[in-house]
Structure 1
Amino acid sequence: MKELLMYFNRFQALPKEAEIAITEICSTLSIKKNENLQSIGHTCRTIYFVKKGIARIYYYKDGIDITESFSTENTIIARVESLFTGTPSRKAIQIVEDAVIVAINAHKLFQLYDTFPSIERLFRKIFERAYVETVNRIESIQFHSAEERYLALLQDTPNIVQRVPLKCIASYLGITQVSLSRIRANIK
């Protein structure tokens, strides 16, 4: 749980009692490449921390697999629209390479908010950051070319091309694999 607590400390330090309370509601999972952590139609009740590996959120549109986001080591991943509304998600979380995941029971976490306001504050900051990242992603799609989005992805996650199938990267960028190949050829 050391990595998880270090991640939390990037947002704010927690009192020792709060750290202990959070670790008691966590479990560690080892998930193989290409397995779904959560399937489409699942109601999200867990917040995940990627300790090792890569996960992606994806959905199907007109029968085509579309990648919404990637989460690499030391990041949180969850289907928050499902988590906060209690409704099944139209999206899934898939493991892209063998991973070690820390699962945080959301129901128990939310119960800790009353006992530890610092935990509630911490997760407010985490969810605020995720919201800003979502807005930035939407604006990137609206205002930047596919090549600019690709270069930004490489800057944010330099080794992603070696770790994630190109079809997932292309769908994340909103382009075809052929277009991605052209962009990559022009950049080299």
Structure 2
Amino acid sequence: MNSFLKYLNQMVPLSEAVQEAISEITIRRVIPGNTLFFQNGDVCKEFHFLENGLARVFYHKDGKEVTAWFASEGQIVSAIDSLFTGQPSFYNIQMTEDSVIWSLQFNKIEPVFQKYPVVERLGRLLITQNYLLLDERMKLFAFCSAEERYEKLLIQIPDITQRVKLGHIASYLGISQEHLSRIRAGLRHGHA
């Protein structure tokens, strides 16, 4: 059983037939690091489960790249704005390191939903889970300081500073790279 099916089975136990149906519409990809995997302006037709590696989702604003979020092992990443609407996306997805992903072809899921209602339930659970992640990110910016946002990021992805550029982390936190350096220095010395 591949890692994507294991992930799904943790959410809802799936029969062999359901696992086979999902496998038939899923593609395993090995992507080299620093690859722009999806580009803004394109229409997203898949969502991706990261078996290993790290993805950075970003957009452009005022001529600069702004990191919207990171996804690491065991998480889903996609240009959701495009996947559900069929419209071109504002987002880019970059694999920041060598990655293995499982890509589910969204345009082939409807017959699986119809044949196996448990898969539709699974889809709702995935959407709910990702909505809650988005809600958590909004709360981080509404209620937490930059230091608290950084600490929460380190809890989610403890080795992120070794895996992505500090400028991308600063952009995600909504601060300058200099401010991030001060936060990191404060944490090393036991105060933020």
TM bin, normalised by shorter chain, reads over 0.9
The separation in 2 between residues aligned to 1:111 and 1:165, in whole angstroms, is: 41
> Which letter maps to 2:74?
N
Letter in 2 for 1:99: S
Distance across 2 between alignment mates of 1:165 and 1:123: 33
Cα displacement (A) at 1:32: 1.3
Show the 5 A alignment for 1:134-149: 134-149=134-149
Residue 105 (structure 1) aligns with: 105
Q: Alpha-carbon deviation of 1:17? A: 0.6
2:69: which partner in 1? 69
1:78-131: CA deviations, max 9, x gaps? Answer: 111111110000111110101111111111123311111111100110110100
Q: Which residue of 2 aligns with 1:172?
A: 172
TM-align CA RMSD: 1.0
Q: What's the offset of the Cα at 1:34?
A: 1.4
Aligned residue identity for 1:72? S
Distance 2:184 2:110 in 1: 44
Amino acid aligned to 2:93: I
Identity across aligned pairs (percent)? 40
CA–CA distance in 2 between the matches of 1:71 and 1:144?
21
Q: Which residue of 2 aligns with 1:37?
A: 37
Q: Report the count of equivalent residues.
A: 188
Shift of 1:154: 0.5
TM-score normalised by length of structure 2? 0.95
Q: Which runs of 4+ in 1 moved over 6 A?
A: none
Per the alignment, residue 46 of structure 1 pairs with: 46
User: Paired residue for 2:185?
Assistant: 185
CA deviation vs aligned residue, 1:25-71 (integer Å, no higher than 9, x gap): 11111111111111110101011111110011100110111111111
Alpha-carbon distance in structure 1 between the residues aligned to 2:152 and 2:139: 13
User: 1:10 is paired with a residue of what secondary structure?
Assistant: helix
What residue is the counterpart of 1:60 in the other structure?
A: 60
Alpha-carbon distance in structure 2 between the residues aligned to 1:185 and 1:87: 43
Offset of residue 172 of structure 1: 0.6
- For structure 1, the residue ranges without an aligned partner over 5 or more in a row are none
- CA distance in 2 between counterparts of 1:37 and 1:115 reads 31
AA aligned opposite 2:111 = Q
- Distance in 1, Cα, partners of 2:68 & 2:111: 30
Structure 1 residue 151 corresponds to structure 2 residue 156:
no
Q: What SS does the aligned partner of 1:36 have?
A: strand
> Could you tell me which amino acid in structure 2 is paired with residue 157 of structure 1?
I
Q: Secondary structure at the match of 1:127?
A: helix
